[in-house]
Amino acid sequence: MTLPADPAQPALWRASVVTLFPQMFPGPLGLSLAGDALRREVWSLSTQDLREHGLGRHRAVDDTPAGGGPGMVLRADVLAAAIDGASGPDDPRPRLLLSPRGRPLTQARVRDLAAGPGVLLVCGRFEGVDERVIEGRGLEEVSIGDYILSGGELAALVLLDACIRLLPGVMGKDESGTEESFESGLLEYPHYTRPRDWEGRGIPEVLTGGNHKAIAAWRREQSLRLTKARRPDLLDPA
Ligand code: SAH
């Protein structure tokens, strides 16, 4: 019998990470809001050390690329063994390979992932991973931007951070998740706080006047102005 989900007790969001550097986790996610939520068991983290699945006396995880060329490639057999150690065939979590070739991560995707059961993340190293393991283990490639990192670990931390802050009970105020850049398809408006005068610069008058309608209109206008200037692609998606 399956019990109906108890909304007061949301299911644990589970993250598993396959990596050559498990010491990098939780890293910064052990601090602040994410760290606090980890200790409160809002989410869980397990790492699968690639080296433990390495071959031979040196526990080799990589080899030279077929066809030649620079660098090394993570072996399909080693990587698959580590993935299988982290997740079984019935695991409902999406399996993501951090990869500059992947579909760029967006706030919409982050929301989707945060609403699901968790993620299995595979971190590449060196030149990348043997192509066959991507297909053989159903990995979806995800990129965090058009630049090259030396490994997938920092990208995994970025993805996890973006998801964890959206889990129920992680952020102080519920609405601070929905007013942000990208959530409305626009960049966020400028913020101000005390002091009212700083180095001769004031705060836009509308924000101190208490007219909430006028404030909302000003913010919307500023959001539009910034988005037009900095990210016109958001207004006119191809
Ligand atoms: N030779 C590869 C880059 C390898 S970088 C290429 O040209 O596409 C080594 C590893 O770092 C990758 O396997 C991936 O896991 C990670 N990585 C690098 N840049 C990334 C990015 N922008 N987004 C996500 N992961 C990235």
Closest Cα to atom 26 of ligand 1: 99
Query: pTM for this one?
Result: 0.94
pLDDT at 97: 99
Ranges of residues in the chain with a pLDDT under 70 are 1-10, 173-177
Please tell me the predicted confidence (pLDDT) of residue 5: 57
Kindly give the number of the ligand 1 atom that is closest to the alpha carbon of 151.
Answer: 11
Closest CA to ligand 1's atom 11? 151
Complete domains list, the chain, with CATH:
13-164 (3.40.1280.10), 181-234 (1.10.1270.20)
What are the pocket residues of ligand 1 if the criterion is a CB atom closer than 6 Å to any ligand atom? 98-101, 123-125, 127-128, 143-145, 147-149, 151-152, 155
Residue 183 per-residue DSSP state: T
* Three-class HEC string of 173-219: CHHHHCCCCCCCCCCCCCCCCCCCCECCECCCHHHHCCCHHHHHHHH
Terminal alpha carbon distance of the chain: 47
Return d(Cα 189, Cα 218) in angstroms, integer. Answer: 9
* Dist. CA 216–CA 84, nearest whole Å: 51
CB 203 within 8 A of CB 210: no
Name the residue with tokens 């060329």: 69
Closest CA to 63 of 78, 83, 42: 78
Burial of 230 (0-12, 13-18, 19+ CB in 10 A): exposed
The 3 state secondary structure assigned to 84-98 is: HHHCCCCCCCCEEEE
**How many angstroms does the Cα of residue 146 sit away from the middle of ligand 1?**
10
Tokens 């939780």 sit on residue: 26
**Closest residue (by CA) to atom 10 of ligand 1?**
151
Q: For residue range 63-119, what is the model confidence (pLDDT) as tens digits? A: 999 999 999 999 999 999 999 999 999 999 999 999 999 999 999 999 999 999 999
Comparing CA positions, the residue from 176, 178, 175, 190 lying closest to residue 223 is 190
What are residue 62's phi and psi, to 5 degrees?
A: -130, 170
Angle subtended at Cα 159 by Cα 187 and Cα 111, rounded to the nearest 5 degrees: 60
